[in-house]
């Protein structure tokens, strides 16, 4: 559906120029050379965006802005002005103007702002669309308590789903890996001590999802993770969790004397059976 635009300017020539140019660009345009009559149009018809001059007889652009927003709180208002005043610009922006455009301006300046407004109105594209360009870093610092960390694996799952990782990786490998490493940090790293915390960092790039989990404990010998095999597990299952982490993730490493675990999941957009680790999660 074409965007409907209202133009209010006391100069007929500017109104006609904007109408012709914007209609050629595919928009529906109504205009008025009177602020009062322009506001009447806004009350009678629905508009997505309004373009109003700042200086007009009887009513300035700030009053027009206020009246337009009262009539339609969802309308985006662009104010055009020949005045170069920082205070005026700030007043207009504080009052809710979508943008201030200084004269002289081009039709491209106007259409870029209209296109931006339209894109803001539409639902955001999925992260799959943006993932080739996305580099994101997120950090959580949570107190040493299992209850406070339970939402983090679900957050990782949702991020991986949005980025189009295969279902087995997003719904199982990543959440179980994060849960296991957080448990290790709390129980074995921080010894469940009060006044300690676990830091979780997430780095996403088009190539991989990397997760770091760091505790405040004394660390352990990272070589253990390379030596663990099922036949080495103790009767109480110790060691099984880290073995499964190694199976789930594409790479596992430790830093800072064994206090910081780093796991990486390659950004595979479709599941490849030969790369999936079919390991039962029983015993986690």
Domain containing 101 — which CATH number? 3.40.50.2300
Residue 282 in this model has a pLDDT that exceeds 50: no
Tally the domains of the chain. 2
Domain end, chosen from 78, 101, 121, is at: 121
Residue 284 lies in a domain: no
Residue 168 lies in a domain: yes
Q: Give yes or no: residues 105 and 176 share one domain.
A: no
Q: Give yes or no: residues 142 and 256 share one domain.
A: yes
d(CA 56, CA 159): 50
Residue 18 lies in a domain: yes
Task: Note the pLDDT of residue 237.
Answer: 45
Span 140-196, pLDDT tens digits = 998 887 666 778 888 888 888 877 788 778 888 888 889 889 888 888 889 888 889
Residue 132 lies in domain: 127-275
Binned at pLDDT 50, 70 and 90, residue 62 comes out as very high
Q: Give yes or no: residues 161 and 58 share one domain.
A: no
Residue 235 in this model has a pLDDT that exceeds 70: no
Span 85-115, pLDDT tens digits = 778 888 888 888 898 888 888 899 899 889 8
Q: Is the dihedral of CA 100, 101, 102, 103 positive or negative?
A: negative
d(CA 209, CA 156): 10
Domain end, chosen from 76, 103, 121, is at: 121
Q: Does residue 4 or residue 278 have the better pLDDT? A: 4
Q: Give yes or no: residues 146 and 91 share one domain.
A: no
Closest CA to 37 of 62, 11, 8, 17: 8
Q: Give yes or no: residues 156 and 230 share one domain.
A: yes
Q: Give yes or no: residues 92 and 214 share one domain.
A: no
Binned at pLDDT 50, 70 and 90, residue 14 comes out as very high
Span 118-135, pLDDT tens digits = 888 777 666 667 767 778
Residue 132 lies in a domain: yes
Give me Rg for the CA atoms of the chain. Answer: 29
Span 24-46, pLDDT tens digits = 999 999 999 999 999 999 999 99
Task: Note the pLDDT of residue 281.
Answer: 33
Q: Give yes or no: residues 264 and 139 share one domain.
A: yes
Least confident of 14-18, 121-125, 221-225: 221-225
Closest CA to 177 of 243, 260, 257, 258: 243
What DSSP character marks residue 238? T
Residue 62 lies in a domain: yes
The backbone torsions φ and ψ at residue 146, rounded to the nearest 5 degrees and listed phi first, read: -60, -40
Question: Which residue, chain included where needed, has tokens 């635009």?
Answer: 5
Q: Give yes or no: residues 60 and 159 share one domain.
A: no
The answer to whether 182 and 152 have CB atoms below 8 angstroms apart is yes
CA distances from 8 to 18, 107, 113 (A): 10, 16, 17
Domain with residue 239: its CATH number is: 3.30.565.10
Residue 24 lies in a domain: yes
The helix-helix angle for 61-71 and 35-44 (nearest 10°) equals: 10
Provide CB contacts within 8 A for 252, sequence distance 6+: 225, 245, 246, 261, 262, 263
d(CA 33, CA 22): 17
Q: What is the pTM of this model?
A: 0.59
Least confident of 68-77, 100-109, 239-248: 239-248
Task: Note the pLDDT of residue 124.
Answer: 64
d(CA 3, CA 233): 65
Q: Give yes or no: residues 220 and 190 share one domain.
A: yes
């Amino acid at each position: 559906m074409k965007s409907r635009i209202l133009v209010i300017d006391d100069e007929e020539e500017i109104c006609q120029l904007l109408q012709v140019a914007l209609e050629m660009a595919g928009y529906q345009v109504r205009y008025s050379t009177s602020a009062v009559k322009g506001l009447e149009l806004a009350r009678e018809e629905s508009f997505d965006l309004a373009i109003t001059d700042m200086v007009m007889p009887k009513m300035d652009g700030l009053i027009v802005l206020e009246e337009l927003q009262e009539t339609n709180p969802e309308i985006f208002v662009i104010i055009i002005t020949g005045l170069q005043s920082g205070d005026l610009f700030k007043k207009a922006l504080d009052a809710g103007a979508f943008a201030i455009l200084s004269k002289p301006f081009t039709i491209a300046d106007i259409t870029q702002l209209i296109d931006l407004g339209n894109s803001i109105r539409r639902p955001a594209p999925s992260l799959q669309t943006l993932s080739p360009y996305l580099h994101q870093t997120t950090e959580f610092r949570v107190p040493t308590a299992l209850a406070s960390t339970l939402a983090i694996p679900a957050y990782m799952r949702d991020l991986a789903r949005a980025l189009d990782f295969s279902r087995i990786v997003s719904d199982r490998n990543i959440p179980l890996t994060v849960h296991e490493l957080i448990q290790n940090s709390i129980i074995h790293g921080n010894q469940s001590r009060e006044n300690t915390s676990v830091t979780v960092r997430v780095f996403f790039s088009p190539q991989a999802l990397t997760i770091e989990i760091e505790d405040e404990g004394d660390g352990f010998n990272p070589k253990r993770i390379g030596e663990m095999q099922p036949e080495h597990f103790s009767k109480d299952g110790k060691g099984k969790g880290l073995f499964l982490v190694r199976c789930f993730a594409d790479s596992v490493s430790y830093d800072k004397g064994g206090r910081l675990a780093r796991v990486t999941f390659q950004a595979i957009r479709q599941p490849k059976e030969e790369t999936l680790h079919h390991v039962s999660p029983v015993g986690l």
